[in-house]
Structure 1
Amino acid sequence: MEAKKIVHLQFKEPYNGETDFYFGSLKAIYDTVPIGAVGITYKSLTNATRGRSEYENKKVLIRIGQIQRKTRGRSLKSECEG
């Protein structure tokens, strides 16, 4: 299995009617959500999360984790069948 980075952005008050957003990077947040809604700039967020997997302010909670994905190639089932 391959581990890929996932960023969960949770708003404390709904943004455009939603509270949960998922991204592949911290930078991708700012392609969808304005800085004012997040309450922190990209550069400050990268500094705040250096060595940490979570950031929180009065507007958002951001968690950085790993999503497990199947590796490309033959499945175990087809390898067992032979």
Structure 2
Amino acid sequence: MEAKKIVHLQFKEPRDGETDLYFGSLKAIYDAVPAEEIGITYKSLTNAMRGKNDYENKRVIIRLGQIQRKARGRSLKSECDG
């Protein structure tokens, strides 16, 4: 299986009706959500998470994890073609 990084952003109070958002990086969070709503700047978050897999403040919980994906194999079509 292949593992890909995922960042789970959980709001303690719903934001636009949602509490859970998922991103491919910490930086991607700040492209979608203003730092004021997260309660920490990007640079401070990267420092706070150094060596850790989660961060929590009064507004959000941020967790780093991995998505397990099936390893890519050759497709049936390519096997038949050649």
TM-score of the aligned structures, taking structure 2 as reference length: 0.87
Residues 7-22 of structure 1 aligned to structure 2 (within 5 Å): 7-22=7-22
The answer on 1:31 being equivalent to 2:19 is no
The answer on 1:59 being equivalent to 2:50 is no
Match of 2:68 in 1: 68
* C-alpha deviation, 1:74, in angstroms: 3.0
AA of the residue aligned to 1:72: R
Unaligned runs of 5+ in 1: 76-82
Partner SS for 1:10: strand
Partner SS for 1:40: coil
* C-alpha deviation, 1:13, in angstroms: 0.4
AA of the residue aligned to 2:52: R
Q: How many residues align?
A: 76
TM-score of the aligned structures, taking structure 1 as reference length: 0.87
Unaligned runs of 5+ in 2: 76-82
**Runs of 4+ off more than 2 Å:** none
Match of 2:79 in 1: none
Identity %: 79
Match of 2:50 in 1: 50
Alpha-carbon RMSD: 1.4
What per-residue deviation string (whole Å, max 9, x for no partner) do you get for residues 34-67 of structure 1?
0000000001101111100000000000000111
Distance in 2 (CA, whole Å) between partners of 1:72 and 1:43 is 35
